[in-house]
Amino acid sequence: MTTPSKVDTLAGPSSRREERKVLAGTLVGTTIEWYDFFIFAQLTATLLSPLFLAPLNESNPGLAQILSFALIGISFLFRPLGAVIAGHLGDRLGRKAMLVFTLVMMGAATALIGMLPTYAQIGAWAPVLLILLRVIQGFSAGGEWGGAALMAVEHAPVNRRGLFGAYPQIGVPVGMILATGLLFFLNTGMSKEDFAAWGWRVPFLLSIVLIVVGYLIRRAVAESPVFQEMALRKKESKAPLGELVRNHKLPVLYSTLIFIGNNAAGYLLIAFFISYATKTLKMPTPQILLATTLASFGWLIFTLVGGWLSDRIGRVKTFLIGYAIVFAWMIPMFALIDTKDIMLYGLALFVLTIGLGLSYGPMSAMYAEMFPANVRYSGISIGYAFGAILGGAFAATIAETLLQSTKWTGSIGIYIMILCVISAVGVVLAKETKGRPLGVSSHH
């Protein structure tokens, strides 16, 4: 029997000051990554098809909307590549270096989108260049989450891993609040013509400021104590990816399944609802953006609650409660949205965020506890990336296609309900992980 790693002691390896720096570093980085992602997703729902797919938008607006949602999905296809490369290097060179690298790459791609000429200016090259920058965004997002999750969880005291792991998770709703809030102010503060002409570029260009702030904060964070221990004991795998593929296939499969339902439901909130409410239901864009911003605060709160609760009752129970809420709410939610009443629309989104948060908050901790230290970055990054492809990548595209073919929003609800069942099965198969050792010397 090996002696327990100091990483797995109740007191944890970090001082309070270091803990705060780590939590700030993981939160700021994921917030910036997801701000960048959401700016694109939400502008796709309202504006990018006339700017970058102009001829198609004039001849077949419905198909143009489906294809513009597919632009969201394209970047997801490159997440596994980012996950494989950043995961492999993160397991060999350290968590911190990959965090800084992915942050700068995502920011650069986002800022360049803000400088792109439109279809009217350079023709077919406009969508081609847009796709290329989306690929870079997807690659960097694939490596970002795993590093942030591990920095938070591997610094955490064993009895607070769920709560610490929720901090990189709340970067999603915080990024959503920043993105949607900024679009709300731009939409209300300038004419539609000005926004379509140049205002849409502002949120992309502002990413440069956020990147500088995030880079400075992340650089100040200490390397993960687990990675330091691996380096000290020279226990790193020479080929963590090969080790993962040979010996840890089932945890990769389970982590993929666990994320599908949450990610698909989340991308309805991020992209589809805004398009559906403004284009199909003809509700005012500023009101819809404000309702989405307010709902994102629910997502933030319940993600933290999900992480905290998983430290109390376990990861599996917390996930299953979250998925049960998303499953049960799907049909009533669309019924409320279809009333075209902005208050009921806001209520529909807010209740959804309760289930989203509870099935997202425990994810960092559970994923980290599913893999041994030397393949952990690779394992969780790849599972998360594949879960995102099968879940959120084309969720808005599938939802739009279902809506146009069935003319019934309930069909979208049923689609998400099926994915929730698949994810719940993945959670049950993975079994409870709370309290498993994370250090180098002992792991299941």
Give the pLDDT confidence of 389-425 residue by residue, as tens digits: 899 888 888 998 999 999 999 999 999 999 999 999 9
Q: Does the pLDDT value for residue 68 go beyond 80?
A: no
Mean of the pLDDT values across residues 231-246?
62
- Least confident stretch, 10-24, 282-296, 312-326: 10-24
Q: How many CB atoms lie within 10 A of CB 435?
A: 15
Q: For position 2, what pLDDT does the model report? A: 41
Whole-angstrom Cα distance, residue 102 to residue 311? 29
pLDDT band at 342 (very low <50, low <70, confident <90, very high): very high
Amino acid found at 127: P
Give the pLDDT confidence of 147-179 residue by residue, as tens digits: 788 888 988 889 999 999 999 999 989 998 998
User: Comparing 76 with 332, which gets the higher pLDDT?
Assistant: 332
Whole-angstrom Cα distance, residue 182 to residue 230? 43
Q: Are 150 and 375 in contact (CB under 8 A)?
A: no
Whole-angstrom Cα distance, residue 71 to residue 368? 30
Mean of the pLDDT values across residues 138-155?
83
Q: For position 131, what pLDDT does the model report? A: 86
> By three-state DSSP, how is residue 284 classified?
coil
Look up the pTM and report it. Answer: 0.85
Mean of the pLDDT values across residues 43-59?
75
Contacts of 317-321 with C-beta under 8 Å, sequence gap 24+, read: 318/162, 318/358, 318/359, 318/361, 318/362, 319/258, 319/358, 319/359, 319/362, 319/366, 319/423, 319/424, 319/427, 320/424, 320/427, 320/428, 321/358
Burial letters 160-198, b for 16+ CB under 10 A, else e: bbbbbbbbbbbbbbbbbbbbbbbbbebbeeeeeeebeee
Q: Does the pLDDT value for residue 12 go beyond 60?
A: no
Mean of the pLDDT values across residues 302-321?
98
Calculate ∠ Cα 42-328-268, nearest 5°: 10
Q: Does the pLDDT value for residue 29 go beyond 70?
A: yes
Q: For position 63, what pLDDT does the model report? A: 80
Phi, psi of 71 (to 5 degrees): -60, -30
